[in-house]
């Protein structure tokens, strides 16, 4: 009943038998901060469990909650500050549409700090804010895209904290033959000899100084259905939008696209041959 106002009757069919002391039923003195990470993981696990019985209603898995902190606590190095940035990403594809992009899982809102606010209140500069298509799981309907946001540190004594989950066993799993989405990551000093890739929770990483770049890259959603069943026109549109290269369209989706009048169009004959060769 997706269009109904929430009411008590919606919850009557559900009963939960949870023994005490589990991660979903903690007891004092167990720590319970950041419980949202467990909640979001449970949502995707529930969808995955229900998908065989309700394949036309369950989405593929999405990227997991993800955030960074950049901060300075030593007043001898400058004014102390704490910049906290929840990072939006890609949700799982649905049985009827591509996965949403720019979603903050659990809340649904886009929570990123406007660049104008960031740069006027903190000793940081935003060098890049763009879609990150390569992390989206392919499928008849592809997963939502991740995002890349690069922050340049402008002053001494800055440290990094990373809040990240589900990178060894990503929950952005594809459904019905769709591909898995890739997990989030933070790349410190990208493209330099000192580059480091962080896929674990970490506190007090640093110190970072002027010119150091922290590249924050969120994960994508899983795909739904086999990639070879995707509408060629949707593939061509992704190429036009810069989400796919022509080579990726051919190798992943078995769709041939050609340049025509400054745009990309589907080569129907070549596409039919590619897909028929795959059986």
pLDDT digits (tens, 9 = 90+) for 232-249: 999 999 999 999 999 999
Per domain, the residue ranges of the chain are: 32-226, 231-279
* Proportion of the chain above pLDDT 70, given as a percent: 98
C-beta neighbour count of 119 within 10 angstroms: 16
Collapse the DSSP code of 200 into the 3-class scheme (helix H, G, I; strand E, B; otherwise coil) and give the result. Answer: coil
* Cis preceding-peptide flag for 207 (omega within 30 of 0): yes
C-alpha–C-alpha distance, residues 267 and 278, integer Å: 17
- Residue 230 pLDDT exceeds 90: yes
Q: Is the pTM of this model over 0.85?
A: yes
The vertex-45 CA angle with 183 and 5, nearest 5°, equals: 110
Picking from 120, 123, 103, the residue whose alpha carbon sits closest to that of residue 111 is 103
pLDDT value of position 107: 62
Picking from 43, 11, 49, the residue whose alpha carbon sits closest to that of residue 24 is 43
Which tokens belong to 102? Answer: 């720019």
In DSSP terms, which residues pair with 258 in a beta bridge? 265
pLDDT digits (tens, 9 = 90+) for 165-206: 889 888 899 999 999 999 999 999 999 999 999 999 999 999
- Residue 38 pLDDT exceeds 90: no
pLDDT value of position 36: 81
Distance of CA 96 to the CA centre of its chain: 20
């Amino acid at each position: 009943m997706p269009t109904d106002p929430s009411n008590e009757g919606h919850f009557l069919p559900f009963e939960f038998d949870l023994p005490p002391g589990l991660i979903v039923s903690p007891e004092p003195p167990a720590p319970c901060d950041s419980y949202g990470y467990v909640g979001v993981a449970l949502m995707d696990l529930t969808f995955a469990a229900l998908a065989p019985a309700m394949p036309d209603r369950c989405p593929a898995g999405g990227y997991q909650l993800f955030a960074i902190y950049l901060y300075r606590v030593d007043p001898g190095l400058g004014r102390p500050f704490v910049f906290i940035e929840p990072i939006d990403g890609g949700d799982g594809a649905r049985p009827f549409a591509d996965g949403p992009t720019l979603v903050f899982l659990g809340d649904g809102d886009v929570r990123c700090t406007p660049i104008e606010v960031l740069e006027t209140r903190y000793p940081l500069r935003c060098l890049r804010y763009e879609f990150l298509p390569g992390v989206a799981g392919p499928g008849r309907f592809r997963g939502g895209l991740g995002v890349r946001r690069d922050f340049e540190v402008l002053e001494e004594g800055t440290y990094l904290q990373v809040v990240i989950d589900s990178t060894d066993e990503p929950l952005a799993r594809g459904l019905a033959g769709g591909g898995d989405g890739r997990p989030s990551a933070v790349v410190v000093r990208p493209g330099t000899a000192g580059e480091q890739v962080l896929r674990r929770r970490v506190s007090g990483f640093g110190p970072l100084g002027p010119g150091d770049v922290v590249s924050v890259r969120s994960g994508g959603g899983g795909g739904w259905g086999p990639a070879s069943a995707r509408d060629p026109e949707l593939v061509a549109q992704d190429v036009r939008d810069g989400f796919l290269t022509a080579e990726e369209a051919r190798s992943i989706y078995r769709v041939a696209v050609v340049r025509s009048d400054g745009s990309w169009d589907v080569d129907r004959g070549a596409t039919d041959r590619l897909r028929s060769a795959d059986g």
